[in-house]
Structure 1
Amino acid sequence: MATLTAPDGTQLVYDACEPLSPRAAVLFLHGWSDHAGRWSGVGERLRDAGFAVYLLDQRGHGRSGGRRGYLSRFSQLLGDLQAFRRAVRRRRPELPQILLGHSFGGLVALRYLETQPSDPLAAAVAASPALALATPPPAWKLVLSRMFADLWPTLPIPAGIDAAMLSRDPAVNAAYESDRAVHGLASPGAWREIQWAQRAVTTDGHRIDTPLLFLLGGEDRIVDAHAARAFADGLTVPVQVQWYAEMYHELLHDPQNEQVIADIVAFLATRGVA
């Protein structure tokens, strides 16, 4: 475990999985309501493939500071990610950096790629990026959310994530439900910022100049994999899409996740970092 300080002073925590002679650094961003510890097995698998892996607890999640379930400004996450990159660079300055974002972390990663062209990455991977929900909320819920985003932006509301939709592995879903580090909240203020980011990412895709791999599950019932595929198809940079027809949302926690890891490594090999 290591710590870093975000631009606004918030203390952030990350874990490291480092082989003896890594070929590149993979920076991992988890999803909403989640935490880095749930992905330690993924870090170990990528480490065994020769990568140094760094898994960040995003602000408001896991061991990092910040109010649970609340997000003041989406741009704070981009500043956090830049600080995370600098911390990893100080630790391993010789390694090219690769960004791997899952779900909400994929949304953060894509927005970062659109807004930080002065600090390029070797490559990036978006796993089930949250560009849109698989099932949009009803209109009345959206109206109430907009109202409370102004009146009570920090109001803690259950996020409503159905654990059974995460993975085809029941053990993964059961562990998620019993994990006390999963906060399970989404405030109106956070939802407003996430919606803003989804619109911004979709609009500004032309700004991305980093080679990208999209990992998408055909049976994802949490985010809209088809929207992510359409976004990927519209990009002008080198893009590869891996579509796993029978997989759910958490591809890297699927019973067949060895194939997903292999696809990541193969993609990175085409970029000269594997």
Structure 2
Amino acid sequence: MAESREHTFTGTRGRNVAREWPHDRPRYLAVLVHGYGEHIGRYEYVADRLVRHGAAVYGLDHMGHGKSEGDRVLVEDFEDVVTDVHAVEERARAEHPGVPVVVIGHSMGGMIAARYAQRYGSGLAALVLSGPVIGEWAVVPALLAYEVPPDVPIDPATLSRDLSIGTAYAADPLVWHGPFKRTTLEAFATTLTTIAKSGTFGALPTLWVHGDDDQLVPLPGSRAGIETVKGTDFAERIYAGARHEVFNETNKDEVLDDVTTFIDRTLT
């Protein structure tokens, strides 16, 4: 695997931990945006593929996630998370001036990346959304119906057909295994509405990848959101039988081949 190093910075709500997988002469910069309850350390395989493809790769643990400060999985406003991701992009650009930037977001990170593209898309070369929480996500209204959201644990088997992924997820001390917090659910609802009302991605090249057996973020709900925001340069890849984490699926190399091929097209 590619070597990585960590650094810290003061984010919008406290100290954030970020990680870089360096490349001496990158063709592009990849900013990875992780999902709910997890951390950027789960993206080692993705980062390694991207480094070998010619990227310097950056990502952070969002507030309340992984090694970053904050109450666990508490997000009051996802606009703050978008701002933190932008700080990572600014550091990447400072280290590699003039190199194009690609943002890749998974699940909740796909939602953050979509909003990021609406705020900062004019400076991006491409956008990749993996199993994004966008459009209609039934989890949010269902849990907000309770004053105190019930603890509904994620079934690790829904992550990937490679069951070792779920086993490692369940044993990972940096992964949050507790219930959603109401404040975070309200922030999800607000951000989903904001994205729907904030226009398309315009000419930004965008790739959407999703498993058709994704039980955590079902395909139909995400499609509704994608149809609202996709711009004029859009492609999708839907993988038969794949579950939620397509970057960790049994066909992950096929998925990452599709991602790198898409990036190559945008860079030329």
Could you tell me the TM-score, scaled by structure 2's length?
0.90
Is 1:125 the counterpart of 2:120? The answer is no
Q: CA RMSD in A?
A: 2.1
Q: Aligned partners of 1:132 and 1:232: how far apart in 2? A: 7
Match of 1:142 among 134, 141, 144: 144
Of 235, 247, 269, the residue aligned with 2:264 is 269
Q: Report the Cα distance in structure 2 between the residues aligned to 1:219 and 1:113, rounded to whole angstroms.
A: 27
What does residue 89 of structure 1 align with? 93
- The sequence identity of aligned pairs, in percent, is 28
Between the aligned partners of 1:71 and 1:257, the Cα distance in structure 2 is: 30
2-structure distance, mates of 1:210, 1:158: 38
Quick check: 1:12 aligned with 2:12? no
The 5-angstrom pairing of residues 174-213 of structure 1 reads 174-185=167-178, 186-206=180-200, 208-213=202-207
Residue among 103, 108, 111 paired with 2:107: 103
Contact kept in structure 2, 1:133 and 1:223, CA below 8 Å: no
Q: Residues 144 and 182 of structure 2 are in contact (CA less than 8 Å); yes or no, is this contact kept in structure 1?
A: no
Structure 1 unaligned segments of length 5 or more: list them: 149-154
Change (3 A) 1:205 1:244: farther
Seen in structure 2, the aligned counterparts of structure 1 residues 201 and 134 have a Cα distance that, compared at 3 Å, is: closer
Matched to 1:16, the amino acid is E
Q: State the AA in 1 paired with 2:145.
A: V
Describe the shift of the 1:22–1:138 C-alpha distance in structure 2 as closer, same or farther (beyond 3 A). closer
Residues 137 and 99 of structure 1: CA distance in aligned 2, closer, same or farther (over 3 Å): closer
Q: Secondary structure of 1:15's match?
A: strand
Distance in 2 between residues matched to 1:130 and 1:257, nearest whole Å = 20
- Structure 2 residue corresponding to 1:162, chosen from 143, 151, 155: 155
> Is 1:34 matched up with 2:28?
no
Aligned to 1:151: none
Residue identity matched to 1:213: L
Measure, in 2, the Cα distance between the counterparts of 1:262 and 1:40. 16
The Cα shift of 1:83 comes to 1.1
Cα displacement (A) at 1:224: 2.2
- With structure 1 as the length reference, what TM-score do the two structures score? 0.88
- Per-residue Cα deviation, 1:104-124 (whole angstroms, up to 9, x for no partner): 00000101111235x521111
Aligned residues: 261
Matching residue of 1:2: 7
Question: Which residue matches 2:3?
Answer: none
What's the CA shift for 1:134? 6.3
Letter of the 1:68 partner, please give it.
Answer: R
Check whether the contact 1:99–1:121 (CA below 8 A) recurs between aligned residues.
yes
Deviation at 1:129, TM superposition (A): 0.3
Alpha-carbon distance in 2 for matches of 1:164, 1:134: 20
Q: Amino acid of the residue matched to residue 143 of structure 1?
A: A
The answer for unaligned runs of 5 or more in structure 2 is 1-5
C-alpha distance 159-102 of structure 1, shift in aligned 2 (>3 A): farther
Change (3 A) 1:207 1:123: closer
